[in-house]
């Protein structure tokens, strides 16, 4: 049989619980909230806002700063983030961005995060960051840039036959140990001048008459086995300014192709301006007035001589991609070297 005081305790506990529950309900009334129905349009607008904010955050400058170990115990690292591939790479002081060292880009305060940083032109001198780095010039100074000769390209080459025939010399044969007084050379491709009489040192259509060597050779008479001596004396002619020299043989025809080269400058809006020059001729680049170059030869590439610095330069042939890139007119005038 249950004792009376146990029942009293149970009833008292229930009464106390009821009082506490009532008090809590009075102090903290329960409220209900109506959840609005799902809206696809509102969700899309919210998503667009988040994307816009993400793009803005991406475009903002980095929050980190260069510090030395003496400044703090732990250094935060920088990372290169590729949003399209979700790839993250650590950016170290020795990183190379599109062929340009990170240190060089930071030295000139160029944002290395740009996907086109190598092809950008901060100072508007028409030379890219990569070209400025390769030449070790200042990408933020229009007067500091690579040499304009690096933008010269060979556009086209035209060959013109220039056939010569060493006909004879006078006196013939020459006296022992002496040079003939004159030579007779046929100019097959020069209208109205089938033959010219020249002396040593004379200029023949741009070629200088050089050394003569008397030479007799034995050869069979055509159609027989009889040998005879034939005069095959040699005469050197040359263009010393372009270091071009060849030898004429008496009784034989020689061909010296004349070369004409068309050059252009890879600068915006200037690819249609041609610089035409023949072999041995001199020319200037418009951006470097007064500085002379000379065409030595041209075939698959151009070979020119810098008459100022006394050095040879190989000029590559222009590519279709280069023509497309520089076809647009410039935003600002081209500046020549000061």
Question: Residue 22: inside a domain, yes or no?
Answer: no
- 171, 240: one domain: yes
pLDDT confidence bin for 179, thresholds 50/70/90: confident
Q: Does a structural domain hold residue 217?
A: yes
- Of 223, 256, 289, the residue that ends a domain is 256
Q: State which residues form the domain around 83.
A: 78-135
Q: Same domain for 318 and 194?
A: no
CB < 8 Å & 24+ apart, contacts of 75-80? 80/113
If you ran DSSP here, which 8-state letter would residue 241 be given?
G
Higher-scoring residue by pLDDT: 115, 31: 115
Note whether residue 191 is domain-resident: yes
| Residues 252, 186 share a domain | yes
Mean pLDDT, residues 296-307 taken together: 89
Based on the fold, state whether residues 193 and 227 are members of the same structural domain: yes
Residue 124 lies in a domain: yes
* 285 and 154 within one domain: yes
The rounded distance, in Å, linking the Cα atoms of 317 and 155 is 6
- State percent of the chain over pLDDT 90: 31
Among residues 256, 278, 303, which one ends one of the domains? 256
Q: Is 29 domain-assigned? A: no
Q: What is the mean pLDDT of residues 261-273?
A: 88
pLDDT above 70 covers what percent of the chain? 74
pLDDT value of residue 70: 47
pTM above 0.85, yes or no: no
Instruction: Determine the average pLDDT of the residues in 148-161.
Output: 90
* Judgement on whether residues 252 and 294 belong to the same structural domain of the protein: no
DSSP string, 310-323: TEEEEEPBP-HHHH
177 and 249 assigned to the same domain: yes
Domain count along the chain: 3
**In this structure, is residue 142 part of a structural domain?**
no
Q: Which backbone phi and psi does 22 adopt, to 5 degrees?
A: -65, -40
- Do 191 and 131 lie in one domain? The reply is no
Q: Which residues pair with 185 in a beta bridge?
A: 166, 196
* Pair 288, 310 in one domain: yes
The answer to the question of residue 27 being in a domain is no
Q: Which residue has the higher pLDDT, 244 or 66?
A: 244
Residue range 6-29, pLDDT digits in tens = 777 777 777 777 777 776 666 666
Better pLDDT: 20 or 122: 122
Residue 211's pLDDT band (cuts 50, 70, 90): very high
Instruction: Report pLDDT for 195.
Output: 81
44 lies in a domain? no
Q: Are strands 87-91 and 78-82 parallel, antiparallel or unpaired?
A: antiparallel
pLDDT band for position 206 (50/70/90)?
confident
Instruction: Say yes or no: 90 and 203 in one domain.
Output: no
What's residue 37's pLDDT? 62
d(CA 63, CA 74): 16
**Would you list the DSSP string of 152-216?**
EEEEEEEEE--EEEEEEEESSSPPTT---SEEEEEETTSTT-SEEEE-TT-EETTEEEEEEE--E
Among the candidates 256, 289, 306, a domain finishes at 256
Residues 113 and 186 in one domain: no
Mean pLDDT over the full length of the chain: 79
pLDDT of residue 96: 87
275 and 152: one domain?
A: yes
């Amino acid at each position: 049989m249950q004792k009376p005081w146990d029942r009293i305790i149970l009833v008292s506990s229930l009464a106390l619980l009821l009082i506490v529950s009532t008090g809590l309900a009075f102090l903290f009334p329960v409220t209900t909230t109506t959840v609005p129905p799902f809206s696809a349009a509102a969700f899309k607008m919210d998503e667009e806002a988040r994307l816009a904010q993400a793009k803005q955050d991406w475009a903002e400058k980095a929050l980190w700063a260069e510090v030395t170990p003496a400044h703090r115990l732990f250094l935060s690292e920088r990372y290169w983030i590729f949003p399209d591939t979700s790839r993250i790479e650590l950016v170290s002081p020795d990183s190379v961005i599109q062929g340009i060292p990170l240190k060089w880009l930071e030295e000139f305060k160029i944002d290395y995060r740009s996907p086109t940083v190598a092809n950008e032109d901060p100072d508007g001198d028409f030379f890219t960051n990569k070209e400025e780095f390769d030449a070790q010039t200042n990408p933020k100074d229009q007067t500091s840039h690579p040499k304009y000769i690096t933008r010269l390209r060979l556009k086209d080459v035209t060959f013109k036959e220039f056939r010569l025939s060493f006909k004879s010399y006078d006196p013939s044969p020459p006296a022992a140990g002496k040079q003939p007084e004159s030579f007779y050379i046929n100019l097959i491709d020069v209208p109205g001048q089938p033959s010219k009489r020249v002396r040593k040192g004379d200029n023949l259509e741009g070629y200088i008459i050089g050394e003569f060597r008397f030479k007799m050779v034995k050869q069979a008479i055509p159609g027989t086995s009889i040998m005879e001596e034939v005069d095959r004396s040699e005469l050197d002619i040359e263009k010393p300014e372009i270091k071009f020299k060849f030898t004429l043989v008496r009784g034989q025809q020689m061909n010296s192709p004349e070369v004409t080269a068309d050059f252009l400058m890879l600068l915006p809006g200037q690819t249609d301006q041609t610089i035409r020059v023949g072999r041995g001729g001199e020319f200037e680049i418009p951006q470097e007035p007064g500085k002379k170059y000379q065409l030595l030869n041209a075939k698959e590439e151009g070979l020119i001589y810098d008459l100022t610095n006394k050095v040879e330069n190989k000029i590559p042939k222009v590519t279709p991609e280069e023509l497309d890139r520089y076809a647009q007119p410039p935003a600002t005038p081209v500046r020549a070297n000061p």
